[in-house]
Structure 1
Amino acid sequence: MESGLQIKTRCSPEADAEDEPVSPTGQYFNSKSLSVCILAVLETSVPIDDSGTLPLLRELFLPINPRFSSIMAYDKKGKRRWKKVEVNLQDHVNVPSFPESLSVESYDDNFDKYLTKLTTKILPEDRPLWEIHILKYPTSKAAGHIIFKLHHALGDGYSLMGALLSCLQRADNPSLPLTFPSTKSNKNANKSRAKSFTSCIQNFFSVINGATFDFGWTVFKSACIADDKTPIRSGDKDLACHPVKISTVAFSMDQLKLIKTKLQVTISAVITGIVSLGVRLYMQGNDTGFNNSRTTALVLLNTRNINGYMSIQDMLKADNKIWGNQFAFLHVDLPKLTTNKTLNPLDFVSKAQKNILRKRNSPAVYLTGQFLEIIRKFRGPEAAAQYIKGTCKRSSLGITSLIGPVEQMACAKHPVKGLYFMPIGVHKSLVVSVMSYMGTMRIGIGTEKGYIDSQRLVCCIDTAFELIYKAATLSK
């Protein structure tokens, strides 16, 4: 086995000239209140040969960003900085051993248990905040699994996914770049008609009033108002320590696009509508008394003004600081569930579209970020982290999404047949992640183990998709 590089466990408190300050968001996500990580799971279609793992990490992964070979350290002024260290790659690579010659069902169970165990382990602070787990055993979904565990302080989903994709190649032709679905809006649909001066003034004040309300409600909701305790929200004070059961369900992009076109909405609205309806169906299955409970989703938005992923080189340019944590969140109320006789599944999509479009374009998103910065400046990073923690705890579920490539990828000549991710440590009983890849939308469902019946929730979300798809195809 290749020896790898050796780590320096002690660093001088005096920052080197090249040491980078830890961003405010990076400090929030690695604090006493929060320790948020991202699990990215790659499913391979062939058995895994891990003999080239260390050279791949050393030659491709580590050079992507200095943070992958740095730890968080305090300088003489008590400020946190990324301190460069030498890395022992073997410390970061885990290859578990399961019993040989088990059934596929048994390996499914072993994989699920291993993945759940990963959700409770804290990354060591004395080495760079990432690790890889290689599971060579076949399951019903893949011949093998490669799991990246990356701390959110390193960057948000966009940055980390960009880093991950830079280590992968197109399976059909490695010399060609990966391509991604366009996120540009339909120009014809978005052409605005000329407006009079009076209507422009009215629209301006409407936006200001809406922003004021949205910002006030977001702050009030984050600080004071908690959602009701329901079958999807236990309200436990220490959810970050609870194991998370991760399940997935997949939908055809063609079918989702049909719903999108029929209803003239965004894919985000379609997915949010499906998840909202599925969650309400699950809650109704426990007790119809939960139909009208106060239940909100915390939707994370990428605030970069770009379409698709950029190269790592472009991300890191001094005049184009795309790397890092650049996102905002907004509260979206889940529609109340009526009786089955009067249920209109499309209402969940239309209401999601209305809420997301209004709030995404609202200045309240910017104001919320500035409010967090004010907390940090006057009360310190830990107070800001506490505010984010309260925001997470008081809502019922989180929804986050990423765009994946259209073509099949390969990792060291291992074709990747499936891809999904899951944020962990976010103080929620339910987190939903959304990832597109090769014409399929993969929904990851992270549930508080022992509190939510993950199998039944997956069935409810699948049912919600069928109801919305059927209603959309029948609509004129």
Structure 2
Amino acid sequence: MGGEKNTARETVGEEPLSPCSRLFNSPDFNCAIIVIMGCKVKGNPPAIIDGLKHTLVNHPRFSSILIQEMNNGKKGKPSWVRTEVRVEDHVIVPDIDPNIENPDQYLEDYISKLTTVPMDFSKPLWEIHLLCLKTSNAESIGLLKIHHSLGDGMSLMSLFLACTRKTSDPEALPTVSVQRKQFGPSSYNGFFNKIWWLFVGLWFILRLVFNTFVDVLMFALTICFLRDTETPLLAKPGTELVPKRFVHRIISFDDVKLVKNAMKLTVNDVLLGVTQAGLSRYLSRRYDQEATPKSKESMRKFRLRSAIMINLRPNTGIEALADMMAKKSKCRWGNLFGYILLPFSVGLETDPLEYVRRAKVTVDRKKHSLEAVFSMAFFKLILKVLGLKASVVLVRKVIHNTTLTFSNVVGPKEEITFHGHPLSYIAPSVFGHPHALTVHFQSYEKKVIISVTADPTVIPDPHKMCDDFVESLKLIKSSVLERGLYEMEV
């Protein structure tokens, strides 16, 4: 899978790793991102290789190797060093029997094995696997594997999209929705109006301070001893070393928007509600199978949380990244993130809409908290004062004491092409962290792709969990339609 080792280095381009990248480069927290690309046409490796030569390898991180200089027999700080990149060494095309009996299962097994193969640190830490394999949703498959030290998930997803173009217009970049935040009215004219918004502003500040204090306290308790309830979803020691299973389902984005508009929510609210409903269904079935009715009855009392990584760096637009790769210019890049602990409400509800209502309450509260900023500052302080090992131990304790990783990324509004390959779906996920379950939602065109990454020793039936998410959305949508809450989107 490797190739010729690169020896030509530009020492002038040496750049130290950011604190967050050093964390991901630790042997005890060795994370990587996988992006599954379902293509609508048969794979064309030469076209992919030629396209990568003009895009991805022009990014400094994707044309740098990670080195760690020795200083008096001791390891120094790691840094990025620019190198010559031979794209062919990063593109893997396995030989696959065209008459394979179960291509979907083959793909799942292939990705699972891929999670056990370490990255080759003698070359830039990325690779792409091109599988000439027709599955139920694609004519061929591309697998992009990237070490997490190269960047945070949002930045890497933006970079991937900057390498694509609209299928309808080969020269145009994809269109991605940007949520604009606005606080307060457009006009403050009038004395009483100003007084009113002064009180609103003071209430906002008090609420922000209180929520942040509570969240930081809970974060500290989680580091010390506060662990989630023991459920069939909680990871076992060493779960990060177990080969993961990657499965996904595709649902209608229009169905998500229908619920969003009817209940005056955000897409995040709806997807979190669907996740809570799906996990409730899954846990209920597991407890029935394990004949533990008391656990099923007490699900509402469970402490079940997600450690969510929040990108704190303003996201670089795909236009800036595309210009950077075309002109080899510079733009903002790097890992800069904090963690928030997002509680999940589980338990069987007679009203499916209750899951979404509770999700909105949770999300609205987290929006009025600086938990992510404080957690980032805390870990940077620990890294500076006590060193990398102490920082890794604390991050691992936060993840070990929570249940799952949850994320949602906005994708292109229209069909896109990756170097001559129109994509039917995009399914990114992450592995290498000590969670047994990762749930990721990715919007694309009029679809939302639900990706579940699971430790099979803890969650032996991830396909059923995906089906629970799909069924939960159907039930929530049906409840909206039955009550006549649906409103046409404008």
TM-score normalised by length of structure 1: 0.89
Aligned to 1:295: 304
Other-structure match for 1:388: 395
Alpha-carbon distance change, 296 to 315 in structure 1, aligned in 2, over 3 angstroms: farther
Partner residue in 2 for 1:171: 167
Pair 95,109 (structure 1): closer, same or farther in 2 beyond 3 Å: same
Contact 2:103 2:134 (C-alpha < 8 Å) held by counterparts? yes
Work out whether residues 238 and 427 of structure 1, in 8 Å CA contact, stay in contact via their aligned partners in 2: yes
Question: What corresponds to 1:107 in structure 2?
Answer: 103
The alignment yields a C-alpha RMSD, in angstroms, of 2.8
In structure 2, what is the Cα distance between the partners aligned to 1:162 and 1:108?
Answer: 28
Structure 1 residues 255 and 5, CA, compared in 2 at 3 Å: closer, same or farther?
same
> Distance in 2 between the 1:169 and 1:198 partners?
48
Partner of residue 96, structure 1: 94
Structure 1 segment 358-377 matched on structure 2, within 5 A: 358-377=365-384
Alpha-carbon distance change, 189 to 45 in structure 1, aligned in 2, over 3 angstroms: farther
Kindly report which structure 2 residues correspond to 1:1-400, keeping only aligned pairs within 5 A, or say none. 7-8=5-6, 16-63=11-58, 65-75=59-69, 78-103=76-101, 106-184=102-180, 195=196, 197=198, 200-233=201-234, 235-287=235-287, 288=293, 289-290=295-296, 291=299, 292-305=301-314, 309-312=318-321, 322-338=332-348, 343-400=350-407
Give, in whole Å, the separation in 2 of the partners of 1:102 and 1:73: 41
Contact 1:5 1:87 in 2 (8 A): no
Shift of 1:55: 2.5
Contact 1:375–1:383, Cα closer than 8 Å, also in 2: yes
- Residue type at the aligned position of 1:409: I
Deviation per residue, 1:1-39 (Å, 9 max, x gap): xxx99532597xxx9332111110000011021111100
Q: Distance in 2 between matches of 1:188 and 1:205?
A: 16
Alignment TM-score, normalising by the size of structure 2: 0.87
Quick one: which amino acid aligns to residue 106 of structure 2? N
CA distance in 2, matches of 1:187, 1:370: 26
Residue matched to 1:464: 472
Structure 1, unaligned stretches of length 5 or more? Answer: none
Following superposition, the deviation at residue 273 of structure 1 comes to 1.0
Q: Against the structure 1 CA distance between its residues 301 and 263, is the aligned structure 2 distance closer, same or farther, given a 3 Å change threshold?
A: farther
CA–CA separation in structure 2 for the residues paired with 1:186 and 1:209: 22
Partner amino acid, structure 2, of 1:238: G
Q: How many residues align?
A: 463
Change in Cα spacing, 1:303 to 1:347, as seen in structure 2 (3 Å) is farther
Q: Which residue of 1 aligns with 2:454?
A: 447
Which amino acid in the other structure matches residue 462 of structure 1? V
Mapped to 1, the partners of 2:105 and 2:384 lie a distance apart of 47
Residues 1:204 and 1:171: Cα distance change in structure 2 (over 3 Å): closer
* Counterpart residue type for residue 219 of structure 1: A
Distance in structure 1 (CA, Å) of the matches to 2:184 and 2:380: 38
Per-residue CA deviation, residues 335-386 of structure 1 (Å, 9 max, x unaligned), is 1414x5xx22222222222222222331222111111111111111232122
* Whole-Å separation in 1 of the counterparts to 2:322 and 2:141: 28
CA distance in 2, matches of 1:184, 1:199: 20
C-alpha distance in structure 1 between counterparts of 2:187 and 2:243, whole Å: 48
Could you tell me whether the CA contact under 8 Å between 2:33 and 2:430 is conserved in 1?
A: yes
- Output the CA distance in 1 between the equivalents of 2:229 and 2:3: 51
Q: What are the ranges of 5 or more consecutive residues in structure 2 without an aligned counterpart?
A: 288-292, 486-490
Q: What CA deviation, in whole Å up to 9, does each residue of 1:398-451 have, x standing for no partner?
A: 111222111111122221111110111121111011111111111101111243
1:314 touches 1:320 (CA, 8 Å); kept in 2? no
